[in-house]
Chain A
């Protein structure tokens, strides 16, 4: 029995369609209330479940936000503590250095002051007084000569004596002035030294003042972080994302360095471990080269950790200084040895390449041509060996961006997780509302399909109502005004 056999109740397709429509409309009209309830329940179930899920996701998002904030603040607090600690260490070093010299400085300044005082005392000596007999000479000079040759001779003698005495006094005065000038000249370096020392003291004090300002700024940031202000969180978040990108960039550079290092030692590794064995599709020589590079990076991490430059392994940082120094030296010795091995492998690589080139040339030329050696080949060899030795130490510094990357990755992942949770929450709410309004739409569409029975029902209801009103009107006189009825 085909579909058409069932469909064609009467020979006419249109008439059959109409019959089916009427039948279905009647059936749907009969099932209207349960159908409406079913649609409404379904849409409500979906809407509520979506709303509940969205609430759960919102709670997770809030928790994640709080967690991100806590982590960010903890990281920021730690960083600020480190900065403040470092500033205090610097101040401590400055104070130790300068204040340790203070007694010596004080003694030097005192000595300089004493010397200056002595010099000053020496320089203030009174100039020699004019001779006491000057007044007597003046009196004699007032005696009138009147052509008396005796008096004239006496006066002439006095004049000569006075000139000589005047010259002697003048000479003595000059000598005294010269000596005082010499003393004053000798004071100059003392003044300069005093001035220099005071400038140094001034510089040290200024440096301390600058440090104290820097500490004030860090302390302010630290207080903000401890209080958990939004500004602190925003600043830390922005700083963390910047750090993430910067450290990722530096790590990418380091990966490039590691790749070059790998190429440098992978070929000669075949000479040690063979070039044919494979593990999971990778040649053992390549794996061995990679392991050496990874061990170098690990040693670099330990070295940086033991130097307390990074804090990826708190266990190493918490060790006592003797043990920490032991780890530091062990890591350095391993690194140095591996760098030496790499330099040797780089040299071997050059030898192997030369050997391979010689063999290829021999095979190309049927053994007739001699291999011409390049006299500048040692430059390439030396460069390769240098790179082989230096790159392991350069890779040591990967620890610093790696630490930044790991710390900032936590924040970036947290921000991403919050974004994803928000998107999920929005999607769930959208789906819930869609379900709710789709339910309403389905009810309306259902009613649209059975518009004819509904119309008939409406007619019946209206006529019944009118009849009932007519009966009521006949039974009771109208006591309520039409206006009051309308308002009711």
Chain B
């Protein structure tokens, strides 16, 4: 008799628990979502490379799914600022709305690329700090920072960046289209040293570092 009561109670409680789990899962952070933050260098001659950035953005947009987050920000004199975020969005759970958001996102990028002006300095560290802040807020399960730059950081006098540790645990940092400067041609060690420095900084912060210079093969860009 007692067993029967327990059995009946279990039958009642189990669906309730399933319903509770179903309801709670809507508010809980979803670990399978992806967050991508693209930093675009707008300093000096690098603005000539911005057409390549459009391809990267389109590729990323077409590969993101509902629930994922994507932001594009420029790297200028002082990049640790929300004002430098060109456009950002978290795609809706409904596929139709998500597609519409992608179209709007692309339109914003097109406008930005038409009107962009080059900056005098390059604050990559500030941009990465801003990216960390944004991606942490999204609660994405897999976080990727794409850096579209020659990786040469030029800070305005008084800006403190080198001593700030980058908390990149759980992040993938991908350097894209790292172009070689004129001085790199004179002394390639400068270019290699630049890459090594960034790799060291990212890995010290607990992140994963990759370089993708061949923009014809972007398939591995968002690899988890």
A257-300 Cβ-contact flags toward B at 8 Å (1 or 0)? 00000000001001100111111100010000000000000000
Give the residues from 114 to 160 in chain B that come closer than 8 angstroms, CB to CB, to chain A: none
Are B95 and A352 interface neighbours, CB within 8 A? yes
Given A271-B95, A360-B62, A276:B33 Cβ within 8 A = yes
Question: Is B26's CB under 8 angstroms from A364's CB?
Answer: no
User: Does chain A have a CB within 8 A of B103?
Assistant: yes
On whether the beta carbons of B93 and A363 are closer than 8 Å, the reply is no
Q: In the docked arrangement, what's the CA distance between A367 and B109, Å? A: 12
Q: Is B25 close to A, CB under 8 A?
A: yes
Q: A255 within 8 Å of B by Cβ? A: no
Distance in angstroms from B93 CB to nearest chain A CB is: 3
Assess whether B47 is interfacial by the CB under 8 Å rule: no
> Quick check: is A362 within 8 A (CB to CB) of the other chain?
yes
Is A24 in the interface zone, CB < 8 Å from B?
no
Q: Which of the four size classes fits the interface of chain B?
A: 20 to 34
Q: A278-B32, A367-B106 are in contact. Are A271 and B94 (CB under 8 A)?
A: yes
Contact of B66 among A276, A355, A363 (CB under 8 A): A276
A275-B67, A275-B94, A277-B30 are known contacts. Are A364 and B99 too (CB-CB below 8 A)? no
B58 adjacent to A274 (CB under 8 Å) = no
Contact A275 B61 (CB under 8 A): no
Nearest Cβ on chain B to A359's Cβ, whole angstroms:
4
CB distance from A202 to the nearest CB of B (A): 62
- Residue A366, interface by CB 8 Å: yes
Q: B interface, by DSSP: helix, strand, loop or mixed?
A: helix
The reply to whether A279 and B21 contact each other, CB–CB distance below 8 Å, is yes
Nearest-neighbor residue (CB-CB) of A285 within chain B:
B93
Annotate B60-73 by CB proximity to A: 1 below 8 A, 0 otherwise: 01100111000000
Q: Judging by beta carbons under 8 Å apart, are A279 and B94 in contact?
A: no
**B96 interface residue, CB < 8 Å from A?**
yes
| A356 within 8 A of partner (CB) | yes
For chain A, which range describes its interface: under 10, 10 to 19, 20 to 34, or 35 or more residues? 20 to 34
User: Known: A362-B103, A366-B54, A367-B110. Is A278-B96 also a contact (CB below 8 A)?
Assistant: no
**Any A CB within 8 A of the CB of B210:** no
Are B67 and A276 in touch, CB under 8 angstroms?
yes
CB 8 Å contact bits of B176-215 with A (1 = contact, 0 = none): 0000000000000000000000000000000000000000
Known: A275-B67, A277-B25, A367-B110. A270 touches B93 (CB 8 A): yes
B58 touches A277 (CB 8 A): no
In the bound complex, residues from chain A placing their C-beta under 8 Å from that of B95 are: 267, 270-271, 275, 352, 355-356
Residues in chain A near residue B26, CB distance under 8 A:
274, 277
Q: A367 contacts which chain B residues (CB < 8 A)?
A: 106-107, 110
Report the minimal beta-carbon distance from B54 to chain A, rounded to whole angstroms: 7
Q: Smallest Cβ distance from B89 to chain A, in angstroms?
A: 14
| A270 contacts B25, C-beta separation under 8 Å | no
Among candidates B18, B22, B61, residue contacting A363 with C-beta atoms closer than 8 Å: B61
Interface: B102 (CB within 8 A):
yes
B110–A278 CB distance below 8 A: no
Closest residue of chain B to A357 (Cβ to Cβ) is: B99
Could you pull out 5 A-B pairs where Cβ atoms are within 8 angstroms? A270-B66, A279-B18, A360-B62, A363-B59, A367-B106
Q: Which B positions have Cβ atoms within 8 angstroms of A? A: 18, 21-22, 25-26, 30, 32-33, 54, 58-59, 61-62, 65-67, 93-96, 99, 102-103, 106-107, 110
Please name the 6 residue pairs, one residue from A and one from B, whose CB atoms are nearest each other, closest first.
A274-B93, A276-B67, A363-B58, A359-B99, A275-B66, A363-B62
Instruction: Give me the interface of A with B, judged by CB distance under 8 Å.
Output: 267, 270-271, 274-280, 284, 351-352, 355-356, 358-360, 362-364, 366-367
Given contacts A277-B26, A356-B99, A362-B106, 15 further A-B contacts (CB under 8 A): A270-B94, A275-B65, A276-B33, A279-B22, A279-B25, A280-B21, A351-B96, A352-B95, A355-B96, A355-B99, A359-B62, A359-B103, A360-B62, A363-B58, A363-B59
